[in-house]
């Protein structure tokens, strides 16, 4: 099998496991909803917050949920020492990383159809077809940006005690550019892009994604060495 085929194989395996344990996967989405409710009551129960605040809540809900999703993706690997088993097979570590990262990416993307409409409802955002297309693209970029470093860090922290503390501690400061770019872009999409800044923010997000998908893929195999 080529590395590419192996990557798809690992991604398929992870998504299949996610499907089998769909109540757990759904729980992550439910958690995202709960955070949105918390935010709305923390600021204003009548939904009277600005567009950028709503966008911020949405991205923060994604970030918080991603921690659970990422930990879940490595829970099985470490519980049954399955990662070590996978390493004994003639599977390229690069394929393991990209496979798992793709699976995590897909799971994070799937939070979009849950969180996005809820944010629009809770905070009275006006959405139309053109808006939605732009937001979907941004959602993909944001999810990709979290998935790559998230997969790398989760693979490490899943093998130490105290993982619950370390993963967000490492991932949240790192993904701050995603939060900033995400909030600004959503704001620009919804309120109009008078100074054509949207392209710049999208490029910044894309650059973040590119840097970390390459860098984390290159470094992942080193973290497996024992």
Measured at the CA of 150, the angle between CA 200 and CA 83, to 5 degrees, comes to: 145
Smallest distance, Å, CB 147 to other proteins?
Answer: 14
Smallest distance, Å, CB 60 to other proteins?
Answer: 15
Q: Is 203 in the site for other proteins (CB under 8 A)?
A: no
Q: Is 162 in the site for other proteins (CB under 8 A)?
A: yes
Among 149, 150, 198, 217, binds other proteins (CB under 8 A): 149
Sign of the dihedral defined by the CA atoms of residues 179, 49, 27, 138, in that order: negative
Angstrom distance (rounded) from CA 47 to CA 40: 6
SS3 assignment, position 115: helix
Q: Is 177 in the site for other proteins (CB under 8 A)?
A: yes
Among 39, 154, 216, 217, binds other proteins (CB under 8 A): 216
**Residue closer to other proteins (CB basis): 118 or 216:** 216
Angstrom distance (rounded) from CA 104 to CA 70: 7
Among 184, 186, 190, 213, binds other proteins (CB under 8 A): 184
Chain centroid to Cα 210, Å, comes to 15
Q: Is 207 in the site for other proteins (CB under 8 A)?
A: yes
**Residue closer to other proteins (CB basis): 30 or 160:** 160
Smallest distance, Å, CB 148 to other proteins?
Answer: 10
Alpha-helical (H) ranges within the chain are 3-20, 22-43, 51-79, 82-88, 93-122, 129-157, 163-174, 176-191, 198-224
Q: Is 156 in the site for other proteins (CB under 8 A)?
A: yes
202: closest CA among 143, 138, 139, 155? 138
Q: Is 192 in the site for other proteins (CB under 8 A)?
A: no
Q: Is 219 in the site for other proteins (CB under 8 A)?
A: yes
Angstrom distance (rounded) from CA 57 to CA 174: 18
Token pair of 204, please?
Answer: 């910044």
Q: Is 106 in the site for other proteins (CB under 8 A)?
A: no
Alpha-helical (H) ranges within 175-197 are 176-191
Q: Which residues bind other proteins (CB under 8 A)?
A: 149, 152-153, 156-157, 159-162, 165-166, 169-170, 173-174, 176-177, 180-181, 184, 200-201, 204, 207-208, 211-212, 215-216, 219, 222-223, 225-226
């Amino acid at each position: 099998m080529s590395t590419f085929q192996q990557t798809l194989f690992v991604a398929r395996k992870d998504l299949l496991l996610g499907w089998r344990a769909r109540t757990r996967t759904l729980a992550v989405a439910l958690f995202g909803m709960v955070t949105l409710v918390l935010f709305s009551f923390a600021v204003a129960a009548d939904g009277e917050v600005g567009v950028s605040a709503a966008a911020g809540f949405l991205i923060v809900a994604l970030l918080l949920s991603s921690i659970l999703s990422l930990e879940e993706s490595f829970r099985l690997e470490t519980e049954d020492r399955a990662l070590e088993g996978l390493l004994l097979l003639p599977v390229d570590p690069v394929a393991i990383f990209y496979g798992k990262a793709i699976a995590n990416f897909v799971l994070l993307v799937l939070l979009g159809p849950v969180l996005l409409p809820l944010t629009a409802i809770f905070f009275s955002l006006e959405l139309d077809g053109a808006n939605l297309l732009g937001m979907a693209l941004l959602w993909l970029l944001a999810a990709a940006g979290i998935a790559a470093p998230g997969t790398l860090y989760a693979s490490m922290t899943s093998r130490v005690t105290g993982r619950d503390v370390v993963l967000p501690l490492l991932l949240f400061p790192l993904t701050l550019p995603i939060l900033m770019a995400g909030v600004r872009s959503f704001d620009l999409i919804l309120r109009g892009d008078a100074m054509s800044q949207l392209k710049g923010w999208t490029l910044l997000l894309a650059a973040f994604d590119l840097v970390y998908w390459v860098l984390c893929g290159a470094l992942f195999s080193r973290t497996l060495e024992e």
